[in-house]
Chains A and B, each alone.
Chain A
């Protein structure tokens, strides 16, 4: 039963991942990425990470993907025509890397590969994550908040029209007219 669920989720994840790269319309790519996010969340539930599954749907599907769709529709793009001309090289390298990893994992049999499930933690998933996050990983947590602040300010500065292009345009026009 668990195999069935895993193989369903894994198949959908792999297929939608390929579709994200292959589809020509960016909106369809973003929508197949949405399906992938939901199935990754399902995978997290089977791995007893329920809180992460909720966060995955909230943050990835709710925030990040909406931002992508917003930009795609803001730019009003037509369907993209061609692939990059390094397609054969990329396909070859990707195939090599993939077969290498699969062979390494399946044939050698790493020591943790056959590990059975140890124990289901007695405390709740959210509680244990919070305990570790706010004690052992408190400093990285604060750094993460700083990263988000810097990204927010940077995004505002980059997307603000007048700040970057306005004055330089005016200077340009003045020098051109004089």
Chain B
């Protein structure tokens, strides 16, 4: 039987990878993919705890995470397309509209 801590460490590795990806990449699409990585890390935690505590609630919450991920992808990609139309670029350094 694999200890629960192994799953938590794996989830932490994936989450931190996604976090670093959001911080260091300039491509908006890669940034959204890194957000997906972080959501998947939380999902691994949810399912692992659900299994070890013998409670289905964790697996139900994965569904809500999935819903949020789908909504985020739909809106995020629409925003990317709108930005690309406006500036012909998806480099985040080109979008400093709120900087003063």
Contact = CB atoms under 8 A, between A and B. Distances in A.
Interface of A: 2-3, 6, 10, 13-14, 17-18, 20-21, 26, 29-30, 33, 36-37, 40, 43-44, 47-49, 51-52, 55-56, 59-60, 63-64, 67-68, 71-72, 74-75, 77, 80, 82-84, 86-87, 89-91, 93-94, 97-98, 101-102, 105-106, 109-110, 112-119, 121, 125, 128-129, 131-133, 136-137, 140, 144, 147-148, 150-152, 154-159, 161, 164-165
Interface in B21-52: 21, 23-27, 29-30, 32-34, 36-37, 40, 43-44, 47-52
A101 B63 contact: no
A94 B91 CA distance: 23
Which of B48, B60, B64, B90: most chain A CB closer than 10 A?
A: B60
Contacts of A18: 17
B20 A102 contact: no
A71 B23 CA distance: 22
Nearest to A159: B78
Contact of A159 (B13, B27, B81, B90): B81
B45 to A, nearest CB: 11
A14 B33 contact: no
B54 A118 contact: yes
Nearest to A71: B77
Contact of A82 (B26, B34, B70): B26
Given A33-B36, A112-B53, A129 B60 contact: yes
Given A102-B9, A105-B8, A64 B73 contact: yes
21 contacts: A6-B2, A13-B14, A14-B14, A20-B21, A36-B37, A56-B43, A68-B77, A77-B29, A80-B25, A80-B30, A80-B91, A83-B26, A93-B23, A129-B56, A129-B59, A129-B63, A137-B57, A144-B64, A147-B68, A147-B71, A158-B82
Given A33-B33, A49-B51, A86-B23, A40 B40 contact: yes
B59 A52 contact: yes
A112 B70 contact: no
Contacts of B59: 49, 51-52, 125, 129
B97 interface: no
Contact of B23 (A6, A74, A90, A150): A90
B21 A21 contact: yes
Nearest to A87: B24
Contacts of A60: 36, 40, 66, 69
A72 B29 contact: yes
